Amino acid sequence: MVLIHGIFSRKEHWVDFARRLTDDYQVIVIDLPGFGDNGLLPDSEYALQKQSENLSAVFDALELSDVHVGANSMGASIIAQIAVEQPDRIASLAFIGSPLGVTSPTLSDMERAIAEGKTPLLVRSQEEFEGRNSWLSPNGISVPQPILTTWMHAELAQVEKNARIWAVVHDENPVPDLLELAPKLNMPTQILWCTEDRIFHVNGAAVLARKLSSAKLDVLDNCGHVPMVDAPEETAMRYLNFLTSLRTSIKPTD
């Protein structure tokens, strides 16, 4: 199993969620190339197609195939490209938290903010870093303060770089969005979306489900854009139930 974070996130966001899976699966949690504890890359490497190629190289290095993949936000769009191009590598997909690339009939709070020229996920000060938590989670990010402070300092040390990364991901993106890719995703797929997600509106979940050939839709309450952080136990249980259903659906042969 491989878990993949979103933009400006890091592997540690999966820790509480992942520890509930390790009894049943070998769990690999990575920082995407150019994020987290990895070194920064040239701006062009953050285009979604380039990120897909870089992540594919990570899969090559780890000799991964036929793996279950859980992905959040931007990570979902990146892995979806790999799943279309190299379907034998992906046993199942789970979009854990709303994925980038789904147009909802209802604008989200973030989409309204962007229309007003604001970028809530791109922070430039301690105040904005702390305020972003309310965008990501209705209950605040439950991380020990010393760790959160360390992450904040690391992010504020590269404000201009992050602004360029945001622009490359959102404004210089020639690849198909997730709704265009979805009909080509033939592996079992779970959509796990929270009703209080302010980044992408929950109404997009049903839109995505209709585009997928094999989709299980789970809608959770009392969580936001990062359910693996907000509600790790409930989210992991839903994910394990999905994976268990895949095993029980395989009929023995005579």
Per-residue pLDDT tens for 91-125?
999 999 999 999 999 999 999 999 999 999 999 99
The C-alpha atoms of residue 230 and residue 137 are separated, in whole angstroms, by: 7
Has residue 250 got a pLDDT over 80? no
Q: Could you list the residue range(s) of the whole structural domain that residue 116 is in?
A: 2-248
- Within a domain: 254: no
- Within a domain: 95: yes
Task: Give exposure, 178-207, as e/b (b: 16+ Cβ within 10 Å).
Answer: bbebbeebebbbbbbbbebbbbbbbebbee
Q: Where are the alpha helices (DSSP H) in 140-254?
A: 145-156, 159-171, 178-181, 204-211, 227-230, 232-248
Q: How confident is the model at residue 253, as a pLDDT?
A: 42
The C-alpha atoms of residue 36 and residue 9 are separated, in whole angstroms, by: 7
The C-alpha atoms of residue 222 and residue 220 are separated, in whole angstroms, by: 7
Query: What radius of gyration, in Å, describes the C-alpha atoms of the chain?
Result: 17
| Widest distance between CA atoms in the chain | 64
Q: How many domains does the chain have?
A: 1
- The pTM of this model reads 0.93
- Within a domain: 77: yes
* Helix, strand, coil distribution of the chain in percent, nearest 5: 50, 15, 40
The CATH number given to whatever domain includes residue 214 is 3.40.50.1820
> How many other CB atoms sit within 10 Å of the CB of residue 65?
12
- Within a domain: 52: yes
- Within a domain: 230: yes
Q: Show the tokens assigned to 199.
A: 């980044």
- Within a domain: 63: yes
Has residue 231 got a pLDDT over 50? yes
- Within a domain: 43: yes
Q: How confident is the model at residue 252, as a pLDDT?
A: 42
The C-alpha atoms of residue 211 and residue 181 are separated, in whole angstroms, by: 9
41-95: per-residue pLDDT in tens?
999 999 999 999 999 999 999 999 999 999 999 999 999 999 999 999 999 999 9
- Within a domain: 86: yes
